[in-house]
Amino acid sequence: MAEEELGTGEETKAERVISHRLATIIHLFLSALAVLLLMAAGIAAFDTLVRDFPTLWQQPQNEYAVLQKIIESLLLIAIAAEFALLLLFRRVSAVVEVVIFVLARKAVNPEITALELVLCAAAIAGLIILRFYYLPGKTT
């Protein structure tokens, strides 16, 4: 069979131009989404700092519930920031870090069962091992 029949020939100049333009548009769109996510994470971090932290020092509150809410909020902010980095850099290590934060947020929920907590801890440990020993790139 000839190359033309298999569709394995070189791409045309028009295909290259369209592919390049489309890749640029997609990159700009993902960059804009990442900037919006980082802005939302910054606003949420400021809101958590201003609104939630002072409630820790109020006397009639349950400090454990307030601290748990703060930790959940901070982990959600971390998930948003890591997801923004994932959109920008599209690295496997960024995916692993997002999943670690998602699992950590799940683990701080007081309504999960002991089995779910053990599975979350094992998954986090496995992902950390995967991240530091098997994925390429800097780990610091």
Q: How high is the pLDDT of residue 138?
A: 58
Query: 10-residue block means of pLDDT along the chain (140 residues)?
Result: 59 84 90 92 91 78 82 89 86 84 87 91 92 71
In a domain, 139, yes or no: no
Q: How high is the pLDDT of residue 5?
A: 56
In a domain, 4, yes or no: no
**What's the one-letter identity of residue 46?**
F
Q: How high is the pLDDT of residue 44?
A: 92
Domain that holds residue 106: 10-134
In a domain, 1, yes or no: no
In a domain, 41, yes or no: yes
How far is the C-alpha of 117 from the C-alpha of 120, rounded, in Å? Answer: 5
Q: How high is the pLDDT of residue 42?
A: 92
In a domain, 70, yes or no: yes
In a domain, 2, yes or no: no
Number of domains in the chain: 1
